[in-house]
Every structure is written in structure tokens, then in C-alpha cells.
Structure 1
Amino acid sequence: MNMKSASAYENLKHHTVAHSSDAISIIILLYERIFDHLKIGKFSLENEQYAIEAFTKAHDLIQQGLLACLDHESGGEVAKNLKVIYEWSLSEIIIARNTRSPQKIQDVLDVLTPLYEAWMSLASREPTSAFPSISQGEQVRTVAV
């Protein structure tokens, strides 16, 4: 690995760290990054800026993260309903960008927040924490979002 690649890899570690491949913690992490990008985008719209990058990242995280991980076979009606909500969110983000509407972004945040809170509640009920502690010297898996 050349120095440039090594440096880029090292920088990725500082973006987001997922302590395990635990599905609940990954979903929670996705929601948190989506919220971060939507809030940045909303702030930008309120200040008459475009925020293309923030909305693109939020859109990609919903589409390639939340939508892509739905298990329609075992998820049944819940997966079907989440798909509708996530697709609605994607549509609202696009409309908000085109119309420069911070309120549309707030609407998306308002709809996704209770889902995030439900995932957080599930994480707290796990017999072992969804966010395991890392002992010194233990490796940490890095995921950039």
C-alpha cells in the first residue's frame, strides 16, 4: 500500500467507527449519519445555499443503507411499511432540494426520528449491549458513511 492510500485509509477511520457488525448498531449509525446530513442540508437551505453534498449523502444512506438492508421475506408488513417511509423520505429530499424547502427536510426528520428512537429502544433491550466496549488492543472495524 502506498503512502497516499495509507493516509486515505487512516483518514477514513476518523469518520465513523462501528464497533461490531451487529445489525441494530449499524442501523442506528445509519440513522445518525442521515440526521447529520439532513440537518446540515436544512441549515444550508435556511441560509440560501444548495447543500447538494449533504442531501446526496443522506439520500445515498437511505437508499443504499436503510432500504437495501430491508428483509422483505422475514420482515413482512414491517419491512413493507419501512420501504414506503424510506421511499417517501427520498422523494421529499429531492423535492426539498428542488424547491429549497427546509420545512420538507424537517418533515423527513420528524418522520424518521420515531423510527430511530424505536431502534435505540431495541438496542437497549439487547441482552448484551448493541455497542460492545472495546478492550485495549482489540481491533475495531471501520465503516465510512
Structure 2
Amino acid sequence: MFGSPRSPAAAYASVGIETAVPTADPHKLILLLFEGAELAISVGKMHMTQGNIAEKGSSISKAIDIITNGLNASLDHEAGGDLTIKLGALYDYMARRLLWANMKNNAAALDEVTQLLRELHGAWAQIAPGKELAA
């Protein structure tokens, strides 16, 4: 799934994410999507530096899929208003940057999307279910 079959770190990360999904609440599932996208980009970057073209493409495609069919698809446009429109545009931008990074072997674009994901991931982690927001 991630990395080579001999990569213990990739295997551990994969198992950790896969075993967390069945018991996760919706908030935790979004956190897992962020983690999965970040991991896929990281693995894609590793394959990029090693010249493993097929594996790079597969990992970056996985990240694009998580962003478009996971994060973007989970947006509640009725309840979210302007914020969901902006997040949707940001997710679209990230997917396009990843596609460009894959085509051009551009690690800087991968880093840019990783940074954006980390910022959103951190913000989402601060919003705990049932926690009241300050007025």
C-alpha cells in the first residue's frame, strides 16, 4: 500500500490508519484523511527522489483521491456556507498542484501541499466534538 513491502515505517503507518477507521467518529475520520493524504505525499516524495516513477505516481494519485473524494466530498455545503466554498477551492488547488508536481517531478509543490494540509489538519484537531467555540 505505502512504500515498499520491506518498509516497516510504511507498514506501521498503514496498519495504524486502517485499524483506526472502523471505530472513528466523523471528526476523527477527517483527521485520518488528513494523515492519509500527508503520508501518501511523503511516500510519493520519497519515490520521486529515488526515481521510482510508477510508485511516485501511485502515491501522489492516492493523495489526490483522498483530498478530492475524502476531504472535499465531506464538506457540508448547506451548513458550512462561505467556509466550505473556500475549503473546496483550496482542496481543488491542492489536487491540481499535486497533479502538476507529479508531471513535473516538483518536490517543492509536494512540500507546499503538505504544508497546507498540516495547517488545516492542525486547525481541525483543535476542534473537538462537543467542544463549544468561544464567541
Match of 1:37 in 2: 40
Q: Which runs of 5+ in 1 are unaligned?
A: 1-12, 128-145
- Partner of 2:52, secondary structure, is coil
Greater relative CO, 1 or 2 (CA 8 Å, sep 6+): 1
Report the Cα offset of residue 21 of structure 1.
4.7
Identity, in percent, stands at 25
Deviations 1:39-85 (A, max 9, x none): 01112212223211111111111111011111111110110111011
Q: Does 1:47 align with 2:50?
A: yes
User: How far apart in 2 are the matches of 1:119 and 1:20?
Assistant: 19
Within the candidate set 50, 55, 63, 1:58 is matched to 63
User: How far apart in 1 are the matches of 2:26 and 2:49?
Assistant: 34
User: How far apart in 2 are the matches of 1:18 and 1:116?
Assistant: 17
User: How far apart in 2 are the matches of 1:30 and 1:56?
Assistant: 14
Match of 1:89 in 2: 94
TM-score, normalised to structure 1, is: 0.72
User: How far apart in 1 are the matches of 2:118 and 2:103?
Assistant: 23
Match of 2:112 in 1: 107
Moved more, 39-48 or 79-88: 39-48
User: How far apart in 2 are the matches of 1:18 and 1:34?
Assistant: 14
CA-atom RMSD in angstroms: 1.8
Tell me the number of residue pairs that the alignment of Structure 1 and Structure 2 aligns: 114
User: How far apart in 2 are the matches of 1:77 and 1:42?
Assistant: 33
Match of 2:9 in 1: none
User: How far apart in 1 are the matches of 2:130 and 2:23?
Assistant: 14
Q: Does 1:28 align with 2:14?
A: no
TM-score, normalised to structure 2, is: 0.77
User: How far apart in 1 are the matches of 2:99 and 2:107?
Assistant: 12
Q: Which runs of 5+ in 2 are unaligned?
A: 1-13
- Partner of 2:75, secondary structure, is coil
Correspondence list, 1:106-125, <5 A = 106-123=111-128
Moved more, 38-47 or 97-106: 38-47
